Amino acid sequence: MSQSDFKPQILCFLCNWCSYAAADLAGVSRLQYPPIRVIKVMCSGRVDPTFIIKALKVADGVLVGGCHIGDCHYATGNHRTKKRVLTLQRLLKNIGINPERVRLEWISAAEGIKFAEVVNDFTNQIKELGPNPLRMMN
C-alpha cells in the first residue's frame, strides 16, 4: 500500500464535558478535519486501558480527549487518565508498537480550533507511521 492510498482509521474517546463539546464546536464552526470515529464517554477517566488495547485491534491510532487538568467535571478523573495512558504507552513500546499511536490531549469545550488541529496533526502522524501491525493481523 502506498502512503497516499493509506487512509488511517482513527478512533477517539472524547469526554462528555470538554472534548466532545469541542468536537461539536468544530463541527458547528465548519472546520475541516479528516474522518474520525468518536466514542463519547462521561469522563476520560472512564477510558480503561483495555478499551485502548481493544481499539488498537481495529484502528491505526487512538486519541483520548479530556478536560484540562483542574477542569475535570469529576475533579480528578483526568489525573488517572494521564497516568494510565503514560503507562500503557510504555507497555506498547516494550512490545514493539509505536507509542505515538495512542495520544492523550486536553481539549476544553471552547477549543474547537484546537480539536481540528489535533485531529489533523494526529492523522498526518499516523499516515507517516503507516498501518498498525496489530490491525493488519485481523
Partner 1 sequence: MTKDEVRNMAKDWLKKGVVKGVIGLKAHNGNVAPHLFLKAEEVDSLVLSPKYPLSTVCRKIQSKHPDIKLGIVAFGCDERALIELAKREQVNLKNIEILGVACSEADAKECRCERPYPKQLKIGEKVEGVKDERIDKLLKMNPEKVFDFWKRQFNKCMKCYGCRNVCPVCFCKDCELEQDIAVKGGRIPPDFPTFHLIRAFHTAGTCIACGQCEKTCPMHIPLTILYSMLRKDVKELFDYESGQDVDQKLPLNTTFEESPIKEETV
Binding of residue 93 to partner 1 (CB under 8 A)? yes
Beta carbons of 127 and 96 less than 8 angstroms apart: no
Binding of residue 89 to partner 1 (CB under 8 A)? yes
Vertex 7 angle, CA 56 and 108, to 5°:
65
Exposure string of 20-53, with b = 16+ CB inside 10 Å and e = fewer, is bbbbebbeeeebebeebeeeebebbbbbebebbe
Biggest CA pair distance of the chain: 45
Binding of residue 76 to partner 1 (CB under 8 A)? yes
Residue position matching grid coordinates 500503557: 88
Window 115-134: residues binding partner 1 (CB under 8 A): 133-134
At 89, list the grid cell: 504507552
Q: How far is the CB of 102 from partner 1 (least distance, A)?
A: 9
Contact pick of 7, 73, 79, 135 for partner 1 (by CB under 8 A): 79
Binding of residue 28 to partner 1 (CB under 8 A)? no
Binding of residue 29 to partner 1 (CB under 8 A)? no
Contact pick of 37, 68, 90, 128 for partner 1 (by CB under 8 A): 90
- Of the pair 31, 97, the CB lying nearest partner 1 is at 97
At 20, list the grid cell: 466532545
Binding site for partner 1 (CB under 8 A): 49-50, 53-54, 57, 69, 76, 79-80, 82-84, 86-100, 133-134, 137
